[in-house]
């Protein structure tokens, strides 16, 4: 039973990371690619981290005391991903707009109008 | 001084978590941890502690109450983006929203939440704390009025950011 739950988490994580990579190839410009890069990979990586935490806690509960290390380290990695991923995406998007990359197929661009005023 | 102690204690707790291996810590590990935490806390005291807003437990309770809703929105966001990756149906644009938040902490919480939730990515912020949001599927009713409505873009996140950050 425990194995099946862990496999589901791993499967979901791999599926969303795959979608994130697909999005990087399919989307037209840097902003839409960042959408794929931040959302899909965050969710996928969180899911994989949860699987590892689950495995670590399970083995720890069954008596292998060393396994708690893996669970704690994965949890810290999870928090770090949640904090740094949106911040990094924000920095890339801002830098792209400042260096003059226009959003492809855009129907509205308030930031560009603001600069021209 | 308080900033230094708070950062050092934070670093020390992180050290204890990272070196825990199922048994109690040895004395040598704890001494090394205290020395390292003092050095790191001294180096980082001005980055970690800007003001003492986060010492208020009310903010942490609101933050914990916000997490389940945030994760629900995030899961929804992923299915939305997955749908757009697979079909290629996008209508992108950059819109300006004025959430009317007063502090840097609140606008940080809001910008990060926006980036991790459905189809939106924060691009820039100006001096009046207006956010410029790249939206992957712009709706027509938002384009009609110039002070854009927050609700279709970021639902109730500004209220939560206000509770946590102000």
Q: Express each pLDDT in A29-83 by its tens digit.
A: 888 888 888 777 888 888 999 999 999 999 888 888 888 888 889 999 988 888 8
**Percent over 70 (pLDDT), chain B:** 87
Mean pLDDT of B118-142: 77
**Is B96's pLDDT higher than 60?**
yes
CA dist., res. B123 & res. B148, Å (int): 16
Read off the pLDDT of residues B30-70 as tens digits, 9 standing for 90 and up.
899 899 999 988 888 887 777 776 677 788 888 888 888 88
A98 to chain B: closest CA residue: B124
B97 to chain A: closest CA residue: A110
**Is A6's pLDDT higher than 60?**
yes
CA dist., res. A80 & res. A45, Å (int): 11
**Percent over 90 (pLDDT), chain A:** 18
The burial class, CB within 10 Å (0-12 / 13-18 / 19+), for B72 is exposed
- pLDDT value of position A52: 92
CA dist., res. B135 & res. A40, Å (int): 16
Confidence label for B118 from pLDDT (cuts 50, 70 and 90) = low
Distances (CA, A) of B136 to A30, A32, A105, B153, B165: 12, 7, 10, 11, 27
**Percent over 90 (pLDDT), chain B:** 3
User: Cβ of A22 and B122 within 8 Å?
Assistant: no
Please tell me if residue B132 touches chain A, with a CB cutoff of 8 Å.
Answer: yes
Mean pLDDT of B119-135: 80
**Is B21's pLDDT higher than 70?**
yes
Partner residue opposite A93 with nearest CB, options B93, B95, B121? B121
Structural domain spans, chain B: 2-49, 56-165
When the pLDDT of each residue in chain A is averaged and rounded to a whole number, the result is: 84
User: Cβ of A114 and B96 within 8 Å?
Assistant: yes
Partner residue opposite A90 with nearest CB, options B85, B93, B111? B111
Q: Is the ipTM here above 0.85?
A: no
Contacts 24+ apart (CB under 8 A), A72-78: A72/B17, A72/B18, A72/B20, A73/B18, A74/A49, A75/A49, A76/B14, A76/B17, A76/B18, A77/A49, A78/A45, A78/A46, A78/A49, A78/A50, A78/A53
| Sign, CA torsion A92/A95/A100/A105 | positive
Confidence label for B142 from pLDDT (cuts 50, 70 and 90) = low
Q: What is the pTM of this model?
A: 0.80
Please tell me if residue B16 touches chain A, with a CB cutoff of 8 Å.
Answer: no
């Amino acid at each position: 039973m425990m194995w099946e739950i862990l496999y589901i988490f791993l499967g979901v994580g791999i599926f969303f990371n795959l979608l994130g990579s697909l999005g990087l190839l399919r989307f037209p410009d840097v902003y839409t690619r960042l959408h794929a890069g931040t959302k899909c990979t965050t969710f996928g990586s969180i899911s994989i981290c949860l699987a590892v935490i689950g495995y670590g806690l399970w083995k720890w509960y069954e008596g292998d005391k060393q396994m708690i290390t893996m669970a704690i380290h994965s949890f810290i990695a999870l928090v770090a991903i949640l904090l740094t991923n949106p911040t990094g995406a924000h920095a890339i998007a801002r830098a792209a707009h400042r260096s003059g990359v226009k959003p492809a197929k855009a129907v509205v661009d308030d930031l560009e109008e603001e600069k021209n005023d | 001084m308080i900033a230094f102690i708070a950062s050092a204690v934070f670093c020390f707790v992180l050290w204890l978590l990272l070196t825990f291996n199922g048994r109690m810590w040895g004395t040598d590990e704890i001494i090394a941890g205290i020395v390292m935490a003092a050095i790191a806390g001294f180096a980082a005291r001005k980055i970690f502690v800007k003001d003492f807003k986060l010492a208020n437990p009310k903010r942490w309770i609101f933050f914990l109450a916000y997490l389940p809703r945030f994760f629900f929105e995030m899961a929804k966001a992923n299915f939305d983006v997955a749908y757009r990756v697979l079909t290629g149906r996008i209508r992108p644009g950059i819109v300006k929203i004025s959430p009317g938040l007063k502090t840097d902490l609140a606008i940080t919480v809001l910008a990060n939440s926006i980036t991790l939730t459905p189809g939106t990515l924060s691009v820039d912020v100006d001096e009046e704390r207006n956010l410029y949001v790249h939206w992957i599927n712009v709706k027509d009713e938002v384009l009609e009025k110039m002070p854009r409505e927050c609700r279709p873009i970021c639902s109730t996140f500004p209220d939560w950011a206000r509770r946590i950050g102000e």
